[in-house]
Structure 1
Amino acid sequence: MSLLLTFIQNAIGQGISILFGASGEILTEKSGNLNLGIPGIMYMGGISGLMGAFFYEKAIKNPNAFVGLLISLVITLLASALGGLIYSILTITLRANQNVVGLALTTFGVGFGNFFGGSISKLAGGVGQISVKTTAAAYRASIPGLSDIPVIGDLLFSYGFLTYLSVILAVLLTYFLRNTRKGLNLRAIGEDPGAADAAGINVSKYKYISTVSGAAIAGLGGLYFVMEYLGGTWNNNGFGDRGWLAIALVILALWKPVNAIWGSFLFGGLYILYIYLPGLTRATQELCKMLPYVVTIIVLILSSKRNKLENQPPASLGEAYFREER
């Protein structure tokens, strides 16, 4: 029982950064934009928030954990939104190829994170010495009282606030897309931007807002990973392929944020399953790490065969919109 509980907790911990990334990408893709820069944006969000907290704690003799939390949170949102804005300008206004821009943004974001992560490590006294324990303690604080309940407390109430925020955001995004006029407009743009434009919907405005907002949400996944999961430390390339798993999760969730909640926990469990399986060789461990992608491919094949409209990607996904060609 103890081993199972530990596995579930670790699966949830692994899945939260993926959930943030997938939720942000779903919002973006509903507008018809395919942002493959999400992995890089998660790096940018993580290192930016960590730098903000690091310099705050370095400058203040007795830093306040809540102030450090606010500083890192705001900086992460701004840096991630900036990444989304750059992508939007290049793909919406300048009509650059979405795949090329997204991959370039990922390359830049990973390099940005590793460069500044290494630089701050040297300032802090050596590689791997970055630590913002005061701020990280605020991120990792569990729910008082409820977290002390045997078993249930550990399973449901022992996480930091970003864990619960990720679930709340996914639920709110689901409501927004299903039950609001603006959500309906956004979905209409993703399906047929020409028809939406003819109906008086400002296509560019919706695309910009959804892409920038989606990037800001995805950036929180990077902040979660460095602050709550790693406890306020930085390791170059420590994110692994979680950003790409977030993009894969969009497909598994069938472009529905609420589905991404259980999907992220599933991905988190599959991602660390090799640790709990005895007798695996290095090669079989790597095969186990492929399981989230295998599951995604299977779901993609099954959803395509069923051909249900609500389970398909937006019809204009990845395509630039030229108003003069309407």
Structure 2
Amino acid sequence: MEIGSLVPLLAAAIVAGTPILFAALGEVMAERSGILNLGVEGMMLVGAVMGFIFTNNTGNHWYGIMAAMIGGGCMALIHAFITVTLRGNQVVSGLALTIFGTGLSGFLGKSYQGMPTVDPFAHFSIPLLDKIPVIGPIFFQQDVLVYISFLTAIFLWYILYRTSWGLAIRSVGENPAAADAVGISVSRVRYLCTITGGILAGLGGAYLSLAYAPSWQENMTAGRGWIAVALVIFALWNPLRAIVGSYLFGGVEALTFRMQTAGIQISSFFLAMLPYLLTILVLVLVTIRLRQEAGAPSALGVAYDREER
């Protein structure tokens, strides 16, 4: 395949991977603090419907983005309250959040089903950078949310690995008792990281309804939230590695559409399965790899009680 024919496919991979990237970055932050949130799918759906409703009622997609982030953050706040304050089971709470978010988004979006977005995000090129051969058309002829996703990943990496705040987050995820002993508020760190994760998941959902497929369709995330959770493991809890993983999954999704439009005689059901087959393969390979490298934060999924310190 020639480079010229690969460029549109790779550009489409960036677009398809962006909602997964936002959600995965949010989950990286939550899990780094020790909170496992399996409610990503539900938070993305709430973000998608809130973004769509506010955009269509105000005529401004930035209001929709704000509403989506608030919606995702509020969903995450529920999870934080259950898991941090009440010290409930994180797996059960996350699954309940996904079920709740799926139902809530369907209820809120019932009267908007199938409607197009009135003010979708449009592509615009970054001057000079868009002229770079091959790289320019792939990375710098996208919409503004794609550029924001690049910057968000870099910013979160810097926070986690180059600041004292990032050190506090990682210490809470590894050994909350030790972090508490040196004066770090475990509850505050976990609340902030979990809510940040919800905000980014809501933003990922809004990208679907305002840019990727500008409309509202019930359950339009189609499992992307679960892929984002698996991607965190693939990325070894590193925001920069999440970029690569997101675009890998996005590339598989973009490739399936290209194969269908090219008239290749493969079952559409099999093509729809490809991203999830890749997810399973990635989990198997990374699990083998984790035996040799640093794995998940030691306190991931474990509630912390100061009285037991």
TM-score by length of structure 2 reads 0.92
User: Counterpart of 1:303?
Assistant: 289
Give distance in 2, aligned partners of 1:80 and 1:281.
35
Per-residue deviation, 1:151: 5.3
Assess if the C-alpha contact under 8 Å between 1:271 and 1:291 holds in 2: no
User: Counterpart of 2:151?
Assistant: 168
1:323 pairs with 289, 306, 309, which one? 306
Give distance in 1, aligned partners of 2:249 and 2:308.
41
User: Counterpart of 2:19?
Assistant: 17
Size of the aligned set, in residue pairs, is: 302
User: Counterpart of 2:276?
Assistant: 290
Assess if the C-alpha contact under 8 Å between 2:45 and 2:205 holds in 1: yes
Give distance in 1, aligned partners of 2:126 and 2:75.
36
Matched position secondary structure for 1:320: coil
Assess if the C-alpha contact under 8 Å between 2:112 and 2:216 holds in 1: no
Cα gap change, 1:71 to 1:281, in 2 (>3 Å): closer
Greater Cα offset, 47-56 or 253-262: 47-56
Cα gap change, 1:21 to 1:200, in 2 (>3 Å): same
Give distance in 1, aligned partners of 2:199 and 2:130.
33
Correspondence 1:48 to 2:50: yes
1:131 pairs with 92, 116, 124, which one? 116
Per-residue deviation, 1:94: 1.2
User: Counterpart of 2:161?
Assistant: 178
Letter in 2 for 1:170: A
Assess if the C-alpha contact under 8 Å between 1:271 and 1:292 holds in 2: no
Give the gaps of 5 or more residues in structure 1. 58-67, 122-127
Per-residue deviation, 1:253: 0.3
Q: How does 1:242-321 map to 2 (within 5 A)?
A: 242-277=224-259, 278-282=264-268, 284-306=270-292, 308-309=293-294, 312-321=295-304
Per-residue deviation, 1:155: 1.7
Letter in 1 for 2:93: V
Per-residue deviation, 1:244: 0.6
Cα gap change, 1:202 to 1:55, in 2 (>3 Å): same
Per-residue deviation, 1:196: 0.8
Per-residue deviation, 1:153: 4.3
Q: How does 1:73-88 map to 2 (within 5 A)?
A: 73-88=65-80
Cα offsets for 1:43-86 (capped at 9, x unmatched):
111111111111113xxxxxxxxxx1331122112111111111
User: Counterpart of 1:61?
Assistant: none
Greater Cα offset, 282-291 or 27-36: 282-291
Letter in 2 for 1:190: G
Letter in 1 for 2:147: Y
Give distance in 1, aligned partners of 2:38 and 2:126.
39
TM-score by length of structure 1 reads 0.87
Correspondence 1:26 to 2:28: yes
Cα offsets for 1:20-45 (capped at 9, x unmatched):
00000000001100000111001111
Per-residue deviation, 1:188: 0.4
Cα gap change, 1:103 to 1:5, in 2 (>3 Å): same
Cα offsets for 1:237-296 (capped at 9, x unmatched):
221011111111101100000000111000111234334453323454355233321332
Assess if the C-alpha contact under 8 Å between 2:13 and 2:254 holds in 1: yes
Give distance in 1, aligned partners of 2:81 and 2:155.
27
User: Counterpart of 1:90?
Assistant: 82
Per-residue deviation, 1:180: 0.5
Matched position secondary structure for 2:28: helix
